[in-house]
Amino acid sequence: MSADVKLESVWIRFGDFIAARDVNLHIKGGEFFTILGPSGCGKTTLLRAVSGFLTPSEGSVLIGGENMAGIGPNRRPTALIFQNLALFPLMTIWENITFSLEVNGVRKAQRKKRADELLELIALPGQGEKMVSELSGGQKQRVAIARALCAQPEVLLLDEPLSALDLKLRQHMRTELRSIQQQVGITFIYITHDQGEALTMSDHVAVMREGIIEQVSDGTTIYDEPDTAFVASFVGENNRFAGKVANVTDGIAQVSTPEGSIRARCSKNPDSNVKTGDDVYVFVRPESLRFVSGNSIDNQMKASVYHEEFEGNMWQVFLDISSTRKRVKMSYVNDGSIRSQSGEKDLPVGFSSDAAIVLPQGPLAAE
């Protein structure tokens, strides 16, 4: 009961504005697929094209191998969970859940029975007679999921459904969503701007920027092997050094930067290859930066501690590189080996060339 979704060369234009540029995606049946991007990048537009509220200007949407052109949202095998949930305020919970059955003329007794089953699934048994306004945020969330599942869709589309919840509830709902997805086994397409949600729940993540899909991969690859400068700067935190490639040998590039020469590995993606003379960025994760002693590591520089934040399990240290006053961030686990470094000057810091990645210069995520 799960279908794959294919977007083939999809363009979506609103007048002069282009919301989707030549989007090609293949979402396999039964997987939890996330589209991640900053607000306004066109991810919701893409979702609406899949659900049928919007017709692509060019290209086609295929669900289960079938072209959806000319098929309205009410006849597609998809169900959408709206950002604001859009529960029907004038109906009881069970009427909300079984709305899809009601419009198909299913008898009331049968509908009630189905509602009870679904209320069991979302852990709200016996609450069917309540009104929507009697539920808390998390309960509403689950009712919205039950309502969508009741329509027995082959693809469930979720448009930032957790954004209205508080942090605690959001974390709880992440695991709950994932377990519901594994129980029902249908394709989930999830839209979010929250990378934490994307990385924890998804089988695959697509990172989107201004209507363009920048990279599609699983969570760890997205984090460790970003294809573009945008992905590297948007997903997680990264220190960035701008420079020029001096030479490339065995997948390690020598980059000359104002902070000195930096050795960093090249991307495995051939599209992101760099050659001598290219303007590039070197990205280093804060957790890859560390205090060093001796010549144990390829890239070393001197830095002064500007500011420290103690988070219990972690230290977040903001450093100024001594030569250029460039601000970088370092984080390390509080294992007791290092105490506060506040006010220290010209400490040796460094990172290995394996932990740094060199990517062609390109658009970056907004700070």
Partner 1 sequence: MIQGRIQNFLVIGFVALFFVYLFGPLIVMGLTAFNTSGFPRVSPWECFTVEWFDVLMEDTRLVTGVRNSLLIGIGVVILAVPIGLAGALMLMQIGPRLRPWLYTVTIAPILVPGVVLGISTLLFWDRIGLMFGAGEDTIFYDGIFLTIVGQATFISAYAMLIFIARLQRFDPALEEAALDLGASHTQTFRKILLPFLRPAIGSAAVLAFLASFENYNTTIFTIVSSSTLTTVLASKVRYGIDPSISALAVSIVFLTLVGAVLYEISKRRETRRARAQMAVARGEATEVKKQRPFLTEPAFILFVLIVVAGLGTVYFSGTVGVEECKIIVKEQRQAEIKRKVERRQQQQMFQSAVDAQSESSSDQEETQEDSKVTAKGTEGYQSVFSPGNLQGEVETEAEEEEPVKGTEGYLNVFSPGNLVNPSSDEPDEEKPVKGTEGYQNVFAPENLTDQVPAENSGN
Kindly list the residues in this chain that would bind partner 1 in the complex (CB under 8 A): 51-53, 72-75, 78-80, 82-84, 86-88, 90, 99-100, 102-104, 130-131, 133-136, 147-148, 151
What's the min distance (Å) between Cβ of 6 and partner 1? 20
Closest distance to partner 1 from the beta carbon of 4 (Å): 20
Task: Give the nearer residue to partner 1 in terms of CB position, either 34 or 100.
Answer: 100
Which of 102, 279 has the CB closer to partner 1? 102
Give the DSSP per-residue string, 42-75: SHHHHHHHHHTSS--SEEEEEETTEE-TT--GGG
CB 95 to partner 1: min, Å: 10
Taking CA atoms, 127 is separated from 134, 268, 330, in Å, by: 10, 53, 49
Which residues, including other chains, have CB under 8 Å from residue 107's CB and lie 6 or more apart? none
47 or 216, CB closer to partner 1? Answer: 47
* Contacts for 124 with CB less than 8 Å, ≥ 6 apart: 93, 139, 142, 143, 146
- In whole angstroms, give the CA distance from residue 159 to residue 79: 11
The residue (of 5 and 289) whose beta carbon lies closer to partner 1 is 5
* Gap between the Cα atoms of 258 and 301, Å rounded: 11
Least distance CB 137 / partner 1 (angstroms)? 9
Q: Return the number of the residue (134 or 279) whose C-beta is nearest partner 1.
A: 134
Which helix (H) or strand (E) segment holds residue 212: the answer is strand 212-217
CB of 49 vs partner 1, minimal distance in Å: 13
Shortest reach from residue 93's CB to partner 1, in Å: 12
Helix (H) or strand (E) holding 20: strand 17-27
Q: How far apart are CA 202 and CA 72, in angstroms?
A: 28
> What span, in angstroms and rounded, lies between the C-alpha atoms of 213 and 365?
14
Nearer to partner 1, 133 or 337 (CB): 133
Structure tokens at 213: 């899909």
Cβ-based nearer residue to partner 1, 103 or 333: 103
What is d(CA 99, CA 157) in angstroms, rounded to the nearest whole number?
A: 18
- Give min distance, CB of 240 to partner 1, in A: 39
